[in-house]
Chains A and B, each alone.
Chain A
Amino acid sequence: ILNVEQSPQSLHVQEGDSTNFTCSFPSSNFYALHWYRWETAKSPEALFVMTLNGDEKKKGRISATLNTKEGYSYLYIKGSQPEDSATYLCAFGGSQGNLIFGKGTKLSVKP
Protein backbone atom coordinates (compact mmCIF):
# COMPACT_ATOMS: atom_id res chain seq x y z
CA ILE A 1 0.00 0.00 0.00
CA LEU A 2 1.44 3.33 -1.07
CA ASN A 3 1.56 5.88 1.73
CA VAL A 4 2.07 9.64 1.64
CA GLU A 5 2.82 11.25 4.99
CA GLN A 6 2.66 14.96 5.76
CA SER A 7 3.97 16.71 8.85
CA PRO A 8 3.10 18.53 10.90
CA GLN A 9 -0.64 17.90 10.92
CA SER A 10 -1.28 21.53 11.87
CA LEU A 11 0.75 24.65 12.43
CA HIS A 12 0.01 27.99 14.05
CA VAL A 13 2.38 30.88 13.28
CA GLN A 14 2.44 34.64 13.63
CA GLU A 15 2.30 36.94 10.64
CA GLY A 16 5.81 37.42 9.31
CA ASP A 17 7.12 34.02 10.48
CA SER A 18 8.64 31.71 7.93
CA THR A 19 7.56 28.10 8.01
CA ASN A 20 8.01 24.78 6.27
CA PHE A 21 6.18 21.48 5.91
CA THR A 22 7.30 18.01 4.93
CA CYS A 23 5.85 15.43 2.59
CA SER A 24 7.23 11.87 2.58
CA PHE A 25 6.43 9.48 -0.24
CA PRO A 26 7.60 6.18 -1.76
CA SER A 27 10.99 6.53 -3.41
CA SER A 28 10.28 3.88 -6.06
CA ASN A 29 8.23 4.23 -9.27
CA PHE A 30 8.20 8.00 -8.89
CA TYR A 31 6.62 10.10 -11.63
CA ALA A 32 5.57 13.38 -9.98
CA LEU A 33 4.97 15.16 -6.71
CA HIS A 34 2.16 17.72 -6.47
CA TRP A 35 1.48 20.44 -3.90
CA TYR A 36 -2.00 21.95 -3.57
CA ARG A 37 -3.36 24.74 -1.42
CA TRP A 38 -6.90 24.33 -0.11
CA GLU A 39 -8.46 27.39 1.45
CA THR A 40 -11.64 27.09 3.48
CA ALA A 41 -14.79 27.20 1.34
CA LYS A 42 -12.74 27.07 -1.87
CA SER A 43 -11.45 24.37 -4.21
CA PRO A 44 -7.93 22.96 -3.91
CA GLU A 45 -5.54 24.77 -6.26
CA ALA A 46 -2.26 23.48 -7.61
CA LEU A 47 0.87 25.20 -6.35
CA PHE A 48 3.60 23.06 -7.88
CA VAL A 49 4.10 19.88 -9.87
CA MET A 50 7.65 18.55 -9.63
CA THR A 51 9.05 15.67 -11.60
CA LEU A 52 12.84 15.69 -11.33
CA ASN A 53 15.09 14.92 -8.39
CA GLY A 54 16.51 18.18 -7.10
CA ASP A 55 13.66 20.25 -8.55
CA GLU A 56 13.09 23.56 -6.83
CA LYS A 57 10.01 25.62 -7.65
CA LYS A 58 9.01 29.07 -6.47
CA LYS A 59 5.84 31.13 -6.61
CA GLY A 60 6.08 34.42 -4.79
CA ARG A 61 6.86 33.70 -1.13
CA ILE A 62 6.22 29.96 -1.50
CA SER A 63 8.84 27.51 -2.68
CA ALA A 64 9.25 23.74 -2.77
CA THR A 65 12.09 21.27 -3.08
CA LEU A 66 12.12 17.63 -4.12
CA ASN A 67 14.32 14.67 -3.22
CA THR A 68 13.08 11.58 -5.06
CA LYS A 69 15.94 9.33 -3.94
CA GLU A 70 15.02 9.64 -0.28
CA GLY A 71 11.34 10.30 -0.89
CA TYR A 72 10.61 13.72 0.55
CA SER A 73 9.58 17.21 -0.44
CA TYR A 74 9.61 20.42 1.56
CA LEU A 75 7.25 23.36 1.12
CA TYR A 76 8.51 26.70 2.45
CA ILE A 77 6.55 29.87 3.08
CA LYS A 78 8.61 33.00 3.69
CA GLY A 79 7.07 35.79 5.78
CA SER A 80 3.67 34.13 6.32
CA GLN A 81 0.59 36.29 5.82
CA PRO A 82 -2.96 35.66 7.10
CA GLU A 83 -4.04 34.91 3.53
CA ASP A 84 -1.63 31.96 3.53
CA SER A 85 -3.92 30.22 6.04
CA ALA A 86 -5.05 27.03 4.33
CA THR A 87 -4.53 23.29 4.23
CA TYR A 88 -1.55 22.30 2.10
CA LEU A 89 -1.82 18.92 0.39
CA CYS A 90 0.88 16.93 -1.25
CA ALA A 91 0.19 14.10 -3.67
CA PHE A 92 2.44 11.38 -5.08
CA GLY A 93 2.11 10.38 -8.71
CA GLY A 94 3.53 6.97 -9.48
CA SER A 95 3.31 4.37 -12.19
CA GLN A 96 -0.26 3.53 -11.21
CA GLY A 97 -1.40 6.58 -13.16
CA ASN A 98 -3.26 8.48 -10.46
CA LEU A 99 -2.39 10.57 -7.41
CA ILE A 100 -2.09 9.43 -3.80
CA PHE A 101 -2.81 12.30 -1.42
CA GLY A 102 -1.46 12.94 2.06
CA LYS A 103 -3.76 14.12 4.85
CA GLY A 104 -2.49 17.68 4.59
CA THR A 105 -0.92 20.28 6.86
CA LYS A 106 -3.31 22.92 8.17
CA LEU A 107 -1.62 26.30 8.50
CA SER A 108 -3.10 29.15 10.55
CA VAL A 109 -1.39 32.54 10.39
CA LYS A 110 -2.35 35.03 13.09
CA PRO A 111 -2.18 38.76 12.33
Chain B
Amino acid sequence: DGGITQSPKYLFRKEGQNVTLSCEQNLNHDAMYWYRQDPGQGLRLIYYSQIVNDFQKGDIAEGYSVSREKKESFPLTVTSAQKNPTAFYLCASSISVGATSYEQYFGPGTRLTVT
Protein backbone atom coordinates (compact mmCIF):
# COMPACT_ATOMS: atom_id res chain seq x y z
CA ASP B 1 0.00 0.00 0.00
CA GLY B 2 1.26 3.48 -0.85
CA GLY B 3 1.37 6.03 1.90
CA ILE B 4 3.25 7.82 4.62
CA THR B 5 4.41 6.24 7.82
CA GLN B 6 5.48 8.01 10.97
CA SER B 7 7.00 6.39 13.98
CA PRO B 8 6.58 6.13 16.81
CA LYS B 9 2.96 7.09 17.48
CA TYR B 10 3.78 8.30 20.99
CA LEU B 11 7.16 9.53 22.19
CA PHE B 12 8.25 10.63 25.63
CA ARG B 13 11.49 12.46 26.37
CA LYS B 14 13.14 14.30 29.17
CA GLU B 15 13.77 18.01 28.83
CA GLY B 16 17.20 18.74 27.37
CA GLN B 17 17.31 15.67 25.13
CA ASN B 18 17.21 15.81 21.36
CA VAL B 19 14.68 13.49 19.73
CA THR B 20 14.22 12.44 16.11
CA LEU B 21 10.81 11.75 14.55
CA SER B 22 10.70 9.45 11.57
CA CYS B 23 8.75 10.04 8.34
CA GLU B 24 8.85 7.71 5.33
CA GLN B 25 6.82 7.80 2.11
CA ASN B 26 6.57 5.38 -0.80
CA LEU B 27 4.46 7.62 -3.03
CA ASN B 28 7.46 8.78 -5.07
CA HIS B 29 6.65 12.37 -4.09
CA ASP B 30 9.28 15.07 -4.45
CA ALA B 31 7.97 17.35 -1.71
CA MET B 32 7.77 16.58 2.00
CA TYR B 33 6.62 18.69 4.95
CA TRP B 34 6.61 18.76 8.72
CA TYR B 35 3.76 20.42 10.61
CA ARG B 36 3.09 20.95 14.25
CA GLN B 37 -0.35 21.08 15.84
CA ASP B 38 -1.11 22.61 19.21
CA PRO B 39 -4.55 22.82 20.87
CA GLY B 40 -6.64 25.59 19.33
CA GLN B 41 -4.14 26.21 16.54
CA GLY B 42 -4.05 25.36 12.88
CA LEU B 43 -1.30 23.23 11.42
CA ARG B 44 1.92 25.25 11.39
CA LEU B 45 4.74 24.51 8.98
CA ILE B 46 8.11 23.69 10.51
CA TYR B 47 10.24 22.68 7.50
CA TYR B 48 9.66 21.53 3.97
CA SER B 49 11.76 19.92 1.29
CA GLN B 50 11.30 20.11 -2.47
CA ILE B 51 13.98 17.63 -3.43
CA VAL B 52 16.70 15.45 -1.99
CA ASN B 53 19.44 17.35 -0.13
CA ASP B 54 17.38 20.54 -0.09
CA PHE B 55 15.02 21.95 2.53
CA GLN B 56 13.59 25.30 3.62
CA LYS B 57 12.44 26.72 6.92
CA GLY B 58 8.75 27.13 7.51
CA ASP B 59 7.05 29.51 9.90
CA ILE B 60 8.30 27.93 13.14
CA ALA B 61 11.69 26.33 12.36
CA GLU B 62 13.54 27.51 15.47
CA GLY B 63 14.67 24.59 17.61
CA TYR B 64 14.16 22.02 14.85
CA SER B 65 16.39 20.46 12.22
CA VAL B 66 15.76 18.17 9.27
CA SER B 67 17.61 16.19 6.64
CA ARG B 68 16.61 14.83 3.24
CA GLU B 69 19.25 12.31 2.22
CA LYS B 70 16.75 10.05 0.45
CA LYS B 71 13.60 10.88 -1.48
CA GLU B 72 11.56 8.57 0.75
CA SER B 73 12.71 9.90 4.11
CA PHE B 74 12.44 13.26 5.89
CA PRO B 75 13.31 12.91 9.59
CA LEU B 76 12.71 15.78 12.01
CA THR B 77 14.94 16.38 15.02
CA VAL B 78 13.47 18.31 17.92
CA THR B 79 16.44 19.83 19.69
CA SER B 80 16.80 20.99 23.26
CA ALA B 81 16.63 24.55 21.90
CA GLN B 82 12.93 24.15 21.12
CA LYS B 83 11.23 25.86 24.05
CA ASN B 84 7.84 24.14 23.84
CA PRO B 85 8.40 20.79 22.12
CA THR B 86 5.33 18.98 23.49
CA ALA B 87 2.93 18.80 20.54
CA PHE B 88 1.44 16.62 17.81
CA TYR B 89 3.68 16.38 14.75
CA LEU B 90 2.39 15.59 11.28
CA CYS B 91 4.43 14.71 8.22
CA ALA B 92 3.04 15.15 4.71
CA SER B 93 4.10 14.81 1.11
CA SER B 94 2.95 16.04 -2.28
CA ILE B 95 3.99 15.57 -5.88
CA SER B 96 5.68 18.96 -5.91
CA VAL B 97 5.88 21.98 -3.66
CA GLY B 98 6.29 24.47 -6.49
CA ALA B 99 2.59 24.44 -7.27
CA THR B 100 0.31 24.51 -4.24
CA SER B 101 -2.45 23.04 -6.38
CA TYR B 102 -1.25 19.54 -5.50
CA GLU B 103 -2.98 17.90 -2.57
CA GLN B 104 -0.92 16.84 0.40
CA TYR B 105 -0.93 13.32 1.82
CA PHE B 106 -0.51 13.04 5.57
CA GLY B 107 0.97 10.48 7.91
CA PRO B 108 -0.73 9.36 11.14
CA GLY B 109 1.32 11.72 13.31
CA THR B 110 3.57 11.45 16.35
CA ARG B 111 2.56 12.84 19.72
CA LEU B 112 5.67 14.04 21.53
CA THR B 113 5.62 14.71 25.25
CA VAL B 114 8.64 16.32 26.90
CA THR B 115 8.80 16.52 30.69
Whether A94 contacts B42 by the Cβ 8 Å rule is: no
Q: Name the residue of chain A whose CB is nearest to the CB of B100.
A: A93
Tell me the bound Cα distance from A34 to B92 in angstroms.
14
Instruction: Kindly list chain A residues whose C-beta atoms are within 8 Å of the C-beta of B67.
Output: none
Instruction: Kindly list chain A residues whose C-beta atoms are within 8 Å of the C-beta of B40.
Output: 103
Whether A46 contacts B104 by the Cβ 8 Å rule is: yes
Contact of B103 among A42, A46, A102 (CB under 8 A): A46
Interface size class of A (residues with CB under 8 A): 20 to 34
Check A97 for interface membership: any CB of B closer than 8 A. yes
Tell me the bound Cα distance from A89 to B42 in angstroms.
8
Whether B109 contacts A101 by the Cβ 8 Å rule is: no
B4, B45, B101, most chain A CB atoms within 10 A? B101
Give B34-90 interface residues, CB cut-off 8 Å to A.
35, 40-45, 48, 58, 90
Tell me the bound Cα distance from A44 to B100 in angstroms.
17
Tell me the bound Cα distance from A45 to B90 in angstroms.
12
Whether A32 contacts B45 by the Cβ 8 Å rule is: no
**Which of A's residues lie within 8 Å of B, judged by CB?**
4, 31-32, 34, 36, 42-46, 49, 51, 89, 91, 93-94, 97-104
